Amino acid sequence: MSATPEQALEQAALAGIHRLPISTPFAVGKVNCYLIEDEPLTLVDTGPNSGKGLDELTSMLAERGHAIEDLGLIIVTHQHIDHLGLVEILVEHSGAEVAALGAAAQRLADFDEDAEREDAFAVEVMLRNGIPEEVTVALRSVSRSFRGWGSHVTVTKPLEDGHLLPLSGRTLQALHRPGHSPSDTVFWDEERRILIAGDHLLGHISSNPLISLPLDGSERRTQALVAYRESLAKTREMPAEIVLPGHGEPVTDHAALIDTRFAATERRKEKIYRLIAAEPRSGYELAQSIWGNVAVTQAFLTLSEVIGHVDILVNEGRVRESLDHGVVRYETT
């Protein structure tokens, strides 16, 4: 029998890892930060850049007898603003080091320019996949309005895949697990079999394989879902007892959960194949066939889902792209 989420949180707490849920303005709800009571005092993720988040974090640290000034290390799991918005403010108060994937460091440092570039890229992808221009304009302004919840981040401890991050009472291994975002990094405490996973694996919802600019500065889009499946396959083989995710409850049966994610991808992929076989369609038309007319704010998420699955079909040689007045249409081979 695997442990319940409550037991898992208790077990993590006994190992000095405490979940601190911080409010966000996003549909996903609260974001989980994790305080590791070790030397240095370490915080994994920070929550978004907001007064409310800072207040919540301050009081949750105080409940455990700590102040923000005591933080010695901040670990960033990935590039999304709900996870890192408070980093610079916490660093100003504490002088903490900041550890994150080295390959993402430049983008994290150039937050504003990077967000503009990412948004322009998203608009291009959406137009190319048949999303109406007015939807892309609306989405871009929504994205700009949320930007204040983020912040640039200066990484002082750049990590590479497999790097060991020693604290005095434990060692965390940084493992690059791209897919949900290109910079997703999980932190593995092999001795305690605890994996701090950010948004790489969530218990209650599947992590969106968001289309994103690659970390290497090139303009070619990544195959986010293809990368994500490869990452999940690696995580599946790890002997983790507890996975501590960036949102929601701990996962205590990660291999079984990953198998249900794989099965769901397979089912959706075949559904999309049948739709394409019935009639060639754009990414937008596929998203509409599956989800109907979704809210404007969901248009990029659903398109990312569709394209992720179509990428697999293209790689399998079953589907190909054709270009119709600047819009990609998918057809069977």
Binding site for Zn ion (CB under 5 A): 80, 199
Closer of 80 and 170 to Zn ion (Cβ): 80
Closer of 84 and 328 to Zn ion (Cβ): 84
277: part of which helix (H) or strand (E)? helix 254-278
* Among 246, 260, 116, residue whose Cα is nearest residue 177: 246
Shortest approach of Zn ion to residue 81 CB, angstroms?
9
Shortest approach of Zn ion to residue 76 CB, angstroms?
11
Q: How far lies 296's CA from each of 125, 145, 149, 301, 309, in Å?
A: 15, 15, 20, 10, 21
Q: What are phi and psi of 184, to 5 degrees?
A: -50, 125
Closer of 183 and 282 to Zn ion (Cβ): 183
Shortest approach of Zn ion to residue 32 CB, angstroms?
11
Report H helices in 147-204: none
Distance CA 261, CA 252 (A): 15
Distance CA 18, CA 30 (A): 15
Distance CA 253, CA 322 (A): 42
Closer of 199 and 285 to Zn ion (Cβ): 199
Residues with Cβ within 8 Å of residue 52, at least 6 apart in sequence: 23
Question: What is the DSSP secondary structure assignment for residue 70, as one 8-state letter?
Answer: G
Closer of 170 and 180 to Zn ion (Cβ): 180
Residue type, 255: A
Distance CA 320, CA 206 (A): 26
Shortest approach of Zn ion to residue 217 CB, angstroms?
21
Shortest approach of Zn ion to residue 279 CB, angstroms?
34
Residues with Cβ within 8 Å of residue 37, at least 6 apart in sequence: 16, 17, 18, 64, 66
Residue nearest to Zn ion (CB): 80
Closer of 83 and 229 to Zn ion (Cβ): 83
Q: Are strands 17-22 and 41-44 parallel, antiparallel or unpaired?
A: unpaired
Closer of 102 and 246 to Zn ion (Cβ): 246
Shortest approach of Zn ion to residue 302 CB, angstroms?
17
Shortest approach of Zn ion to residue 2 CB, angstroms?
25
Closer of 114 and 199 to Zn ion (Cβ): 199
Shortest approach of Zn ion to residue 236 CB, angstroms?
20
Sheet holding 194-198, edge to edge: 164-166, 171-176, 185-189, 194-198, 242-245
Distance CA 306, CA 272 (A): 8
Closer of 80 and 309 to Zn ion (Cβ): 80
Shortest approach of Zn ion to residue 180 CB, angstroms?
6
Residue type, 91: V
